[in-house]
Amino acid sequence: MPDAVELKNVVKVYGSGNQESVTAVDDISLNIRRGEIFSLVGPDGAGKTTAIRMMCGVLPATRGTIDVLGYDMKTEKAEIKKHIGYLSQRFSLYQDLTIDENLDFFAEIHAVHNFKTRKDELLEFTRLTKFRERLAGRLSGGMKQKLALACTLIHTPDILLLDEPTTGVDPVSRRDFWKILSSLLKNGITIIVSTPYLDEAERSNRVALMNEGKIMQCDTPDAIRNSFPLKVMELLCGDNRRGAAVLSLVLGKDRIQMFGDRLHVMMKDPSMEVQQILDCLTQAKIEVTGYRVLPPSLEDVFIARLGS
């Protein structure tokens, strides 16, 4: 049985002729398995959205091949579209239609007949049943995303492609949205998500770290963390910014990361370096209120790789 999606040496170049060309996706190859949550993670401009759009057939690849469920994107795009659901960054709900009416509209677009049971299941699944008569324009950001997801699922796709679905959504709604995605796996659906949030990627079966159009690493979250050779010292200081500046002068900027009210310091040998770091801060008269040595998070790994 073929994988859900297979990309081989895919390149996407924007601009031609007199225009300056930009390579948005630079020779990437991926195999996305059936029934997994797969995340494309990276900063703005990494190529995530372009990659997702090529997997949907919205954008043609400049070079390379894309197969979806064994179908060739170049020659069998119409067949592929029957099997995929696509939620773009700017999914267009009709603000003056109710939740019910939006679902009816998208069912008609996908030529879904006798969908009342399916609609009721989706409303129950996304916990929108009691709001079904509310206008989409009066929904919160999190509820709009749930409705957009329900509209995308109305035709029961085999593969769901989501382009930064939780950007601009509050943390509680983000967590709720990901719980819904995880429960979709029970139905055997394949979910491909692009996100700038590393904490979301931790929930995925596999992750591809992207930057400047290239795949830096692709593996399970555990394997990516375990492949990183450094440990992390997490510090709480009286003056974090000054602490970061002092340690950067001694250890180098690439080894210091700020996470809100905490500092993360990358260490090769904690047994030797922990005391050195504490002594350095003490000499600079910076109070340390707490510290601990941790294994690296995906965010630690990714930021360190970006700086290397």
Q: What is the CATH number of the domain that holds 298?
A: 3.30.70.270
Domain membership of residue 251 (yes or no) is yes
The structure tokens listed for 223 are 């394997």
Q: What does the pLDDT profile of the chain (308 residues) look like in tens digits?
A: 889 999 999 999 998 766 678 999 999 999 999 999 999 999 889 999 999 999 999 999 999 999 999 999 999 999 999 999 999 887 678 899 999 999 999 998 888 888 889 999 999 988 999 999 999 999 988 899 899 999 999 998 999 999 998 887 788 888 888 888 888 888 889 999 999 888 888 999 999 999 999 999 999 999 999 988 889 999 998 888 899 999 999 888 888 988 888 899 999 888 889 999 999 999 999 999 999 998 888 988 888 888 76
Domain membership of residue 128 (yes or no) is no
Domain membership of residue 21 (yes or no) is yes
Q: Do 199 and 263 sit in the same domain of this protein?
A: no
Three-class SS state of 15: coil
How many H-runs (helices) and E-runs (strands) does the chain carry?
11, 14
The length of the chain, given as a count of residues: 308
DSSP state of 296: P
The residue segments making up the domain with residue 219 are 1-76+191-227
Domain membership of residue 28 (yes or no) is yes
Task: Report how many domains make up the chain.
Answer: 2
Domain membership of residue 90 (yes or no) is no
Q: Do 268 and 199 sit in the same domain of this protein?
A: no
Domain membership of residue 287 (yes or no) is yes
The structure tokens listed for 12 are 């996407």
The structure tokens listed for 236 are 């709480």
Residue that is last in its domain, among 227, 254, 283: 227
CATH code (residue 34) = 3.40.50.300
How far apart are the C-alpha atoms of 7 and 195, rounded to whole Å?
19
Q: Does this model's pTM top 0.95?
A: no
Q: Do 53 and 38 sit in the same domain of this protein?
A: yes
Three-class SS state of 206: strand
Burial (0-12, 13-18, 19+ Cβ within 10 Å), 306: middle
